[in-house]
Structure 1
């Protein structure tokens, strides 16, 4: 068996076991806990992309408001 398949089976065995144990403790369905983790991963990835776009817009706006000088004599 290849190393990748061993790693896959190990992560499925222990990763899904963690979600099912958490669901048992909370009294929820396992699929709901897994779906929650999937949604949270997309939200956190999207959050940083939104921060990046906000900062890029802010820098662009700063450059538009404060004009760039082409020469020393433009003071």
Structure 2
């Protein structure tokens, strides 16, 4: 059961932890735990940062995809 839940979140997450882990060469699990623990301590502020980072990463991915399609024409 736990494996299904973990697979669901890894498949449908925004990729913020993956991006930060690759950028700073830190384990993704440690970054996820950091967000979980700090959101309990800081009353949800890290969740705001997480969603903001997800939006920024999604926009960057969208712009890169559009730029490639524009130059392929």
Q: TM-score range by the shorter chain?
A: 0.3 to 0.5
- TM-score, normalization by structure 2: 0.43
- TM-score, normalization by structure 1: 0.42
* Greater Cα radius of gyration, structure 1 or 2: 1
- Structure with the bigger RCO (C-alpha within 8 Å, sep 6+) is 2
